[in-house]
Amino acid sequence: MTARPISILVVDDDFELRGLLQRFLGEHGFHVRTADGGAAMDQAMRRDPPDLLVLDLMMPGEDGLAICRRLRAEGETLPIVMLTAKGDPVDRIIGLEMGADDYLAKPFTPRELVARIAAVMRRLGPDRAMLRDEALSIGPFRIDFAAHSVSRDGQPLVLSSREFALLGALARSPGRPLTRAQLIERAMGRDAEVTDRAIDVQIGRLRKALGDDPQAPRHIRTVWGVGYVLAAGDEG
C-alpha cells in the first residue's frame, strides 16, 4: 500500500512565492494547497485539514503571529513552520512563543524549506524512537505517543507538536536532567537550528500547558548549570 502524501497548506500573500513553493514541494512528493491569508486558510482547513502549515509572518490584516496565536488558542495542534523576512532573533523567538514549531528566514531556498518540513514531520512520524513506547505514566501525566496525546489526572491537555516532542524527550529520562543540547537532539533532531533561548521559551510554554507553576515548577524543574528534568515521582 502506498502511503498518503503529506498535505501542506502554504499561507502567504505573495502570489509568486505561493506558486513557486506549490510547484517545488509538489515535485518533492507533498500534496500542496495555498491560501493568501487567514480567511482563505480557514476555508481550506475546514474543507481538508492539512498535516502541516507553512505560514508567512508578514501579511496584511491578520499576520502570521496573530494566526498562529489564534490557532493555538483554539486548540489546533498541527505543526507550523513560520516564514519571516525579519532577521532579528527576537521575532523568531516571538513566533515560537506563539506556538510555531520551526521558522525559516527569507530569503531561503525551497530546498531549505523541504528540510525543515521533513525535520518537523520526523518528530511527529511513527518512526520516531519514542514511539516504541506506546504510552508512559509519570506522576499525574499520561503520555500516549501513538495517539500523540497527553492527559493530566485523566483530563486531556492541548500541546503543540514541539511541546509534545520536548515532553516526550523529558519523559523518556524521568528524574534525569537533560541539557538543552540533549533536548534539541532528542526532540528536534541533531541538525535542528534551535538556540538555547528557544528551548527555554518552549519549556516555559510546556510548563504552562501542563499547568505547572512557572515561579515554582513542580514537574519540569530547572537544574541550574545543566538544563531541565521531569520529576519522576507522583507529585501532582
Q: Which of 124, 145, 163 is the last residue of a domain?
A: 124
Same domain? For 119 and 143 the reply is no
Q: Number of C-alpha atoms within 13 angstroms, CB side, residue 230? A: 23
Same domain? For 69 and 157 the reply is no
Q: Domain for residue 2, yes or no? A: no
Number of Cβ atoms within 10 Å of the Cβ of 199: 22
Q: Domain for residue 153, yes or no? A: yes
CA distances from 15 to 10, 113, 193 (A): 11, 17, 28
Backbone phi, then psi, for 55, in 5-degree steps? Answer: -125, 125
Of the candidates 11, 57, 51, 6, the one whose C-alpha atom is nearest the C-alpha of residue 34 is 11
Q: Domain for residue 191, yes or no? A: yes
Same domain? For 112 and 133 the reply is no
Backbone phi, then psi, for 156, in 5-degree steps? Answer: -65, 145
CATH of the domain at 192: 1.10.10.10
Over residues 31-72, the pLDDT tens digits come to 999 999 999 999 999 888 888 999 998 899 999 999 998 988
The domain containing residue 89 runs over which residues?
A: 7-124
Q: Domain for residue 193, yes or no? A: yes
Query: What pLDDT is attached to residue 2?
Result: 40
CATH of the domain at 56: 3.40.50.2300
Same domain? For 93 and 16 the reply is yes
Q: What is the pTM (predicted TM-score) of this model?
A: 0.57
The DSSP output letter for 153 is T
First to last CA, the chain: 44
Number of domains in the chain: 2
Same domain? For 33 and 112 the reply is yes
Q: Domain for residue 235, yes or no? A: no
Q: Which of 99, 124, 149 is the last residue of a domain?
A: 124
For 140-145, what is the mean pLDDT?
Answer: 87
The residue behind cell 486531556 is 156
Angle in degrees, 0-180, between the axes of helices 38-47 and 64-73, rounded to the nearest 10: 40
In the structure, what pLDDT confidence band is assigned to residue 131 with cuts at 50, 70 and 90?
very low
Of the candidates 117, 44, 49, 43, the one whose C-alpha atom is nearest the C-alpha of residue 80 is 117
Backbone phi, then psi, for 201, in 5-degree steps? Answer: -65, -45
Q: Domain for residue 12, yes or no? A: yes
More confident: 169 or 1 = 169
Same domain? For 66 and 88 the reply is yes
For residue 17, the Cα-to-chain-centroid distance in whole angstroms is: 23
